[in-house]
């Protein structure tokens, strides 16, 4: 049922066994990716299973005999957003609402695969650095599977909802006085030296779960969208989703591929800067800053994969300001009833900007990936909306406030 798989270096092409615990190529230090044997199946055959990550078993290299660690992730709604589309200038705008995952973000797609892999390798402990969502998700899947979980967070820069989740699910949470990039460097060293299984997106097995978002959009739309917009932080997701579309194409399950549209916050946009400059190497942003704390990342480890996804797909990249992010977040919430966290709104702000700049047509069928739930960051929501008025418990006073 599960496909056979190997690890391959994306630069020197050396291959390694799927049972080896590697986060980069021992030969040249570059990123590794999972290569699976191309499955022979059909959408109809797979549709006998419920919509969600594990519908696509034939594409998921979990390993025979492995017990899957699942919280029933994926299967998230794809909303057609006509009112928001009018605002953004698009006639066919969809939102893939990843906030509907068990821990409220797309990370669950990766963690079901990643923690299953950790168990099958016999690991007793897992770790990650995180801007918040990865830690919330890993903590939950570690709890479900009885693994010890360590998370390292940039102090003071993780939204309250995410911190609450990591703590409640029983992770050992360590706040470091530094940013995400520094936390990631530390956890990479700690996990390698201490034999703890690392589940940041540098771990290519995690991305195998995240690629299922591509499969679901094809199942839900009946075809691949023309444009797939996604916020970029550490840049695992954009590359995972592109990999998913390509695997469906290789299996004959789609003829077309979307253009991938990677969107970063203005204050944390090393990949967009690089693509704009036509450069071949990333210049890290040393002090990244944005209201979208989830993507407050200056030195994304997966930049080579992201750059490849955007270039190969004849895609686009763009930056959006904090004002544009907050504006898009508020519009989606008030026009469509969909509540997302700031980082997720980068994809919406990005498509609006691309229409305005004439980079995409008004009739482009666009799917915006909205990566995390509004309740992840309640403090930001209250800050931008303002606190409610407080009045005496008096009918006259209150009725006077209701304007209809």
Contacts of 404 (CB under 8 A, 6+ apart): none
Q: Does 344 bind ligand F0G (CB under 6 A)?
A: yes
Q: Does 208 bind ligand F0G (CB under 6 A)?
A: no
Would you mind telling me the total number of residues written for the chain in this entry?
404
Q: Which is nearer to ligand F0G, 233 or 315 (CB)?
A: 233
Number of amino acids touching ligand F0G (CB under 6 A): 21
For residue 312, the minimal CB distance to ligand F0G (Å) is: 17
Reported as half-sphere exposure (CB side, CA atoms, 13 A), residue 193 has a value of 6
* Candidate list 76, 103, 133, 203; residue touching ligand F0G; CB under 6 A: 133
Strands 316-320, 78-80: parallel, antiparallel or unpaired by DSSP?
A: unpaired
Tokens 């450069």: give the residue: 279
Q: Is 106:371 a contact under the CB 8 Å cutoff?
A: yes
Segment 147 to 206, residues that bind ligand F0G, using CB under 6 A: 201
* Candidate list 3, 132, 244, 339; residue touching ligand F0G; CB under 6 A: 132
Q: Does 294 bind ligand F0G (CB under 6 A)?
A: yes
Q: Which is nearer to ligand F0G, 78 or 240 (CB)?
A: 240
Burial of 296 (0-12, 13-18, 19+ CB in 10 A): buried
245-276 per-residue burial string, b: 16 or more CB within 10 A, e: under 16 = bbbbbebebbeebbbbbbbbbbbbbbbbbbbe
For residue 91, the minimal CB distance to ligand F0G (Å) is: 26
Q: Does 212 bind ligand F0G (CB under 6 A)?
A: no
| Segment contacting ligand F0G by CB under 6 A, of 35-43, 71-79, 233-241, 280-288 | 233-241
Helix, strand, coil percentages for the chain (3-state, nearest 5):
45, 15, 40
Q: Does 319 bind ligand F0G (CB under 6 A)?
A: no
Segment 367 to 386, residues that bind ligand F0G, using CB under 6 A: 371-372
Q: Is 317:273 a contact under the CB 8 Å cutoff?
A: no
Q: Does 232 bind ligand F0G (CB under 6 A)?
A: yes
Q: Does 267 bind ligand F0G (CB under 6 A)?
A: no
For residue 388, the minimal CB distance to ligand F0G (Å) is: 26
- The CA-atom distances, in angstroms, between 215 and each of 254, 299, 345 are 10, 29, 22
Q: How far apart are CA 120 and CA 129, in angstroms?
A: 22
At residue 400, what are phi and psi to the nearest 5 degrees?
A: -65, -20
Q: Does 101 bind ligand F0G (CB under 6 A)?
A: no
* Candidate list 58, 208, 341, 377; residue touching ligand F0G; CB under 6 A: 341
Q: Does 131 bind ligand F0G (CB under 6 A)?
A: yes
Q: Is 15:26 a contact under the CB 8 Å cutoff?
A: no
Q: Does 235 bind ligand F0G (CB under 6 A)?
A: yes
Q: How far apart are CA 213 and CA 111, in angstroms?
A: 14
Q: Which is nearer to ligand F0G, 119 or 376 (CB)?
A: 376
| Segment contacting ligand F0G by CB under 6 A, of 88-96, 131-139, 310-318, 381-389 | 131-139
| Segment contacting ligand F0G by CB under 6 A, of 23-31, 45-53, 70-78, 336-344 | 336-344
Q: Which is nearer to ligand F0G, 95 or 253 (CB)?
A: 95
Q: Which residues pair with 6 in a beta bridge?
A: 17, 35
| Segment contacting ligand F0G by CB under 6 A, of 71-79, 167-175, 229-237, 269-277 | 229-237
Q: Does 219 bind ligand F0G (CB under 6 A)?
A: no
- The CA-atom distances, in angstroms, between 152 and each of 171, 185, 209 are 10, 10, 22
Q: Does 236 bind ligand F0G (CB under 6 A)?
A: yes
Q: Is 339:382 a contact under the CB 8 Å cutoff?
A: no
- The dihedral region occupied by 195, where left means phi > 0, alpha psi between -120 and 50, and beta the remainder, is left
For residue 134, the minimal CB distance to ligand F0G (Å) is: 4
Q: Does 108 bind ligand F0G (CB under 6 A)?
A: no
Please give the residue ranges that form the binding site for ligand F0G (CB under 6 A). 105, 130-134, 201, 231-237, 294-295, 341, 343-344, 371-372
């Amino acid at each position: 049922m599960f496909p056979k798989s190997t690890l391959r270096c994306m630069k020197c092409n050396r291959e390694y066994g799927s049972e080896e615990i590697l986060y980069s190529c021992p030969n040249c230090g570059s990123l590794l990716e999972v290569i699976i044997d191309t499955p022979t199946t059909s959408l109809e055959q797979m549709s006998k299973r419920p919509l969600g990550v594990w519908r696509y078993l034939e594409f998921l290299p979990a390993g025979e005999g492995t017990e899957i660690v699942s919280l029933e992730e994926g299967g998230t709604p794809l909303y057609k957003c006509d009112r928001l589309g009018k605002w953004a200038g698009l006639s066919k705008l969809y939102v893939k609402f990843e906030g509907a995952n068990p821990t409220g973000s797309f990370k669950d797609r990766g963690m079901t695969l990643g923690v299953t892999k950790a168990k099958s390798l016999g690991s007793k402990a897992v770790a990650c650095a995180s801007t918040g969502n990865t830690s919330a998700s890993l903590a939950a899947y570690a709890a479900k599977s009885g693994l010890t979980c360590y998370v390292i967070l940039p102090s003071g820069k993780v939204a309250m909802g995410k911190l609450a989740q990591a703590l409640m699910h029983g992770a050992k949470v360590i706040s470091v006085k530094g940013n995400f990039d520094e936390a990631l460097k530390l956890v990479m060293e700690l996990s390698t030296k201490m034999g703890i299984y690392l589940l940041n997106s540098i771990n290519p097995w995690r991305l195998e779960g995240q690629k299922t978002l591509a499969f679901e959009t094809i199942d839900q739309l009946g075809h691949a969208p023309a444009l797939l917009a996604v916020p970029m932080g550490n840049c695992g997701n954009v590359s995972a989703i592109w990999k998913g579309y390509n695997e469906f194409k290789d299996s004959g399950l789609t003829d077309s591929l979307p253009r991938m549209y990677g969107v970063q916050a203005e204050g944390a946009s090393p990949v967009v800067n690089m693509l704009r400059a036509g450069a071949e190497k990333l210049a890290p942003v040393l002090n990244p800053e944005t209201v979208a704390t989830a993507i407050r990342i200056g030195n994304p480890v997966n930049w080579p994969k992201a750059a490849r996804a955007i270039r190969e797909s004849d895609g686009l990249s763009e930056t959006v300001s904090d004002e544009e992010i907050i504006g898009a977040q508020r519009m989606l919430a008030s026009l469509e009833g969909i509540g997302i966290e700031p980082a997720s709104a980068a994809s919406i702000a990005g498509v609006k900007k691309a229409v305005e700049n004439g980079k995409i047509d008004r009739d482009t069928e666009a799917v915006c990936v909205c990566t995390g739930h509004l309740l992840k960051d309640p403090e930001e929501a209250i800050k931008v909306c303002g606190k409610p008025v407080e009045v005496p418990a008096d009918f006259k006073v209150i009725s006077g406030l209701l304007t209809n």
